[in-house]
Homo-oligomer: A and B are copies of this chain.
Amino acid sequence: MEQVREGAVDVDGALARLRHMPFEDLGFAKVDHHRALRHGMPEVIFAMGKTPEQVAAIAERLIENAPNMLITRADPATAAYITERIPGAEYFPASRAIRVWGDRTVFGKGKIAVVCAGTSDIPVAEEAQITAEVMGNQVDAIHDIGVAGIHRLMNNRVRLTEARVVVVCAGMEGALPSVVGGLVSCPVIAVPTSVGYGASFHGLAALLGMLNSCASNVTVVNIDNGFGAGYVASLINRI
């Protein structure tokens, strides 16, 4: 606007620039190059509900402007399609994530612990770990320390207290974040997983448990949303 007053840019031009700059219109998608500018973060594509062709078209635009990219929820067909087309793309079948990790600068000021309650929760924890890593963090992954074997958890207490943020993934009753939350003094991001059966109602039991956590330092993301947890953990670790 200062430029407008100085006459360096005319009004229409300014409006046009404002209109066209922040994203590119592919018709089926508005490709937003803003994130890198705004967040200093890698580009991210949520692949679920998109065709392999749509994912590829978006990815190709994004990778032009960013050294790092993460594609989440990619089924094997999409993964095959992408890894052929995007150089440096690596597929993680358990979490169904695709990662391009060109710039491995560490931005995080401390360590992020990514914890899961059982072996079946590993895919969600992996999504959180991959996300945190591509966002420039050192991750300490601790698996299978559910609350019914409290000695396994207590045995990892030191590693937990050394983290600057803790991500906790748990299905079934989702009790782990409360116990971890009581052991550490940093923020805990709880990820309910859909692991379980019957009255777990695809992760609802774990979700409700975590929302009602009696530990005050716990916040929650959507069921199986390892990405969101890794993302926010990274933001906190950068502060």
In the complex, which residues of chain B have a beta carbon less than 8 angstroms from the beta carbon of A199? 203-204, 207-208, 211-212, 222-223
A-B pairs with beta carbons under 8 Å apart, 6 shown: A18-B155, A58-B119, A187-B236, A198-B212, A199-B207, A216-B228
CB atoms of B195 and A223 under 8 A apart: no
Shortest Cβ distance from A9 into chain B, in angstroms? 10
Contacts of A210 in B (CB 8 A): 173
Contact A214 B146 (CB under 8 A): yes
Count contacts on A: residues with CB < 8 A to the other chain. 104
Question: Taking CB as reference atom, which chain B residue is nearest A183?
Answer: B150
Q: A239 at interface (Cβ–Cβ under 8 A)?
A: yes
A86 at the interface (CB under 8 A from B): no
Query: Which A residues have a C-beta under 8 Å from some C-beta of B?
Result: 1-2, 4-5, 7, 10-11, 14, 18-19, 22-23, 27-30, 32, 34, 38-41, 44, 46, 48-50, 54, 58, 73, 109, 117-122, 143-152, 154-155, 164, 172-175, 178-179, 181-183, 185-187, 189, 192, 194-225, 227-229, 231-232, 235-236, 239
10 nearest interchain CB pairs?
Answer: A49-B120, A198-B223, A175-B175, A205-B208, A219-B219, A148-B182, A148-B215, A173-B209, A172-B212, A199-B211
**Given A215-B148, A227-B216, are A178 and B175 also a contact pair (CB < 8 Å)?**
yes
